Structure 1
Amino acid sequence: MPLYPLFADLAGREVLVVGGGEVAVRKIEALLHAGARVRVHARALHPTLRGWEAEGRIECAEGEFDPAWIDAAWLLVVATDDGAFNAALAAQATARRTLANVVDDARLSSFQVPAVIDRAPLQLAISSGGAAPMLARRLRERLEIELDPSLGALAGLFARHRDVIRERLPDLNRRRRWFDAVIDGAVPALLRAGRAEEAERAFAAMLDPAAIAPVGGRISLVGTGPGDPARLTLGALRAMNLADVLLVDAGVGEAVLALARKDAPREPAQPDPADCLSWVAAHARAGRHVVWLRPGDGFREPASARFAQALQGMEWPCELHAGVAADDGDAPGASRPAGA
């Protein structure tokens, strides 16, 4: 069953942890980092936990376990090696509508703790739904290498200037284009080079009202190939992720659509091509990035090429992303498939 991804704000909120060994130490350390008030019940406490109790970082509940303790908790974490006791705690949590994580037992858990890549305030979480935690950890290891530590500083810039960004860019489409310009511009490169002050100045300069470019319409024509998401080109994926609206032809599969920007409205293409051209032009005229998806090689096939020619003759920038078939990945003019 698919899980619903959720980032919880636990600052100042109580979390009950049952168990006092090394596994509990790791879970509690992450909870304290998130600002949670941690209450621990265990028959024996790891020396680290004893130290944290003495420092006042955690509270320990003595005596026999009282199920009523769950009522005060936002989350329950169970880290004992007693399977019957764990199952009883999970049942108590379910009866009280409290989310519970039973370590290494997805069947008993109502929430999973993902593998996390921390580039504060940016966080990436990877979950296998409890099916293969080692796979999630291996992916985290790879991404830790690929994702530069400066991403946290970049996210911090956006966070500190959030109110100014919203004030100067109230239009969502214009704001999205501005974000793209910053992310693809000099600011990340300066941060990667450790030149934080220069990055701050460059960021502020891009927020100068005189430097903010007016929003303009844009059209992307995407061939989705045989329907295999792995055959989409990098350019096609980028266009789908930046779309303001999507025009979808019959035959474009759900697996491909799942990769498009989630909040971009989707409109089925009408049988009359003239209606489609009018629809695309209307959205481009309103300053939106329109992405038209067609199966196969979409807009390079003879029957459809006239649509591309008509749109490329309009006043807005119009780019074409060829559909890559399974046997023509190296064909002239085809951009490289994602992941190839």
Structure 2
Amino acid sequence: MPLYPLFADLAGREVLVVGGGEVALRKVEALLQAGARVRLHAHELHPVLAGWIDAGRIDRLRGDFDPAWIDAAWLMVVATDDGAFNATLAAQAGARRRFANVVDDAALSTFQVPAVIDRAPLQLAISSGGAAPMLARRLRERLEAELDPALGALAGLFARHRTAIRARLPELGHRRRWFDAVIDGPVPALLREGRDADAAQAFLAMLDDAGMVPAGGRASLVGTGPGDPGQLTLAALRAMALADVLLVDAAVAAPVLALARKDATRELAPGDPDACSGRVRDHAGAGRHVVWLRPGDGFREAPFDAIATALREAAWPCEVHAGVGDPAAWKRAGA
């Protein structure tokens, strides 16, 4: 049966947790992070849970379980190893129209806890409906590696200026185009570099322009390794997919270049490193995202490491993506 995806606001709301072991500890920790008021019933307690009770972070309900406790809760989480007791609690929750999660028992549960990717305030949740939780966790691990770590900070900028964005861009289509320009522009790159103040300034500058905003100048210096596209870093692939201009060294392998943005302008990189650097500056200064591709660990070895350092001191953002792989393979490939 398909589940209805739902993100619950539990801040200040009471949640009943039954169980005091390692699993209950993980559930309570996640609930506290969401701001819930946790009431816990358990005869034996994990030491960390006992410490949280002593510190007043959670309340302990003592004695035999009282079904009336469910009436005060918005949700109930059951984390005991007593199957019969779990079934009784699930039935009592159902009779009171309260959602209950019985850990590792999808049949008894009326809600599932998904695997979560946290880029606060942005959250992604993955659920298998309780059928294959390890598969959901594996997908979470893959997405954790692929998703830009700056997404949370970018979402925070959108959230803080939401009212101004809607006032400045009332037409939905126009607003969508503006969002695309910000997401594909220099703001995420500035956030990745830790230049939060510059990112905020660039964000507001784009908001000040009520017309369609260009993507903005920036540079990405990509080492393509031995020419195996499977060894490109995820950050390098993102840069190649967003390029306006590709400045390509003659030795870059064709399978690597095939992964780059198809409609980007492609230029053969001059043989002189300083001339290449000048070409990068020209494109970025004109508001384009230029990606310079070199084989091997192209921008962390002399003389290109010094050029990369100089480019990173420019006003527009410049990122260096290392080549990954065996240096011996780079030499065999002519890098």
Question: TM-score, normalized by length of structure 1?
Answer: 0.62
Q: Which residue of 2 aligns with 1:150?
A: 150
Q: Which residue of 1 aligns with 2:176?
A: 176
Counting only pairs closer than 5 Å after superposition, residues 113-192 of structure 1 correspond to structure 2 as: 113-192=113-192
In the alignment, is the contact (CA less than 8 A) between 2:168 and 2:210 conserved in 1? no
| Alpha-carbon distance, 1:158 to partner | 0.2
Q: Which residue of 1 aligns with 2:75?
A: 75
Q: Which residue of 2 aligns with 1:101?
A: 101
**3-state SS of paired residue (1:81):** coil
Residue by residue, what CA displacement relative to the aligned partner does 1:103-149 show, whole Å, maximum 9, x if unpaired?
00000000000000101000010000000000000111111111122
Cα 1:170–1:66, aligned 2, differ >3 Å: closer, same or farther? same
Counting only pairs closer than 5 Å after superposition, residues 199-210 of structure 1 correspond to structure 2 as: 199-209=199-209
Q: Which residue of 2 aligns with 1:33?
A: 33
Residue by residue, what CA displacement relative to the aligned partner does 1:26-63 show, whole Å, maximum 9, x if unpaired?
00000000000000000111110110001100000000
State the one-letter code of the partner of 1:2. P
Q: Tell me, in whole angstroms, the C-alpha distance in 1 between the residues paired with 2:68 and 2:149.
A: 43
Runs of 4+ in 1 over 2 A off after TM superposition: 209-213
Q: Tell me, in whole angstroms, the C-alpha distance in 2 between the residues paired with 1:191 and 1:48.
A: 36
| Alpha-carbon distance, 1:202 to partner | 0.6
State the one-letter code of the partner of 1:13. R
State the one-letter code of the partner of 2:36. A
Cα 1:177–1:210, aligned 2, differ >3 Å: closer, same or farther? closer
| Alpha-carbon distance, 1:194 to partner | 1.9
**3-state SS of paired residue (1:108):** coil
In the alignment, is the contact (CA less than 8 A) between 2:39 and 2:59 conserved in 1? yes
| Alpha-carbon distance, 1:15 to partner | 0.1
Q: Which residue of 2 aligns with 1:12?
A: 12
**3-state SS of paired residue (2:84):** helix
Q: Which residue of 1 aligns with 2:87?
A: 87
| Alpha-carbon distance, 1:212 to partner | 4.7
| Alpha-carbon distance, 1:175 to partner | 1.0
Unaligned runs of 5+ in 1: 214-340
Unaligned runs of 5+ in 2: 214-335
Q: Tell me, in whole angstroms, the C-alpha distance in 2 between the residues paired with 1:174 and 1:27.
A: 42
State the one-letter code of the partner of 2:197. E
Percent of paired sites with the same residue:
80
Q: Which residue of 2 aligns with 1:266?
A: none
Q: Tell me, in whole angstroms, the C-alpha distance in 2 between the residues paired with 1:50 and 1:161.
A: 41
In the alignment, is the contact (CA less than 8 A) between 2:16 and 2:77 conserved in 1? yes
Counting only pairs closer than 5 Å after superposition, residues 155-304 of structure 1 correspond to structure 2 as: 155-209=155-209, 211-212=211-212
In the alignment, is the contact (CA less than 8 A) between 1:205 and 1:211 conserved in 2? no
State the one-letter code of the partner of 2:125. A
Q: Tell me, in whole angstroms, the C-alpha distance in 2 between the residues paired with 1:38 and 1:206.
A: 43
**3-state SS of paired residue (2:116):** strand
Q: Tell me, in whole angstroms, the C-alpha distance in 2 between the residues paired with 1:155 and 1:182.
A: 11
Q: Tell me, in whole angstroms, the C-alpha distance in 2 between the residues paired with 1:173 and 1:73.
A: 42
In the alignment, is the contact (CA less than 8 A) between 1:106 and 1:131 conserved in 2? yes
Question: TM-score, normalized by length of structure 2?
Answer: 0.63
State the one-letter code of the partner of 1:119. R
State the one-letter code of the partner of 2:154. L
Q: Which residue of 1 aligns with 2:46?
A: 46
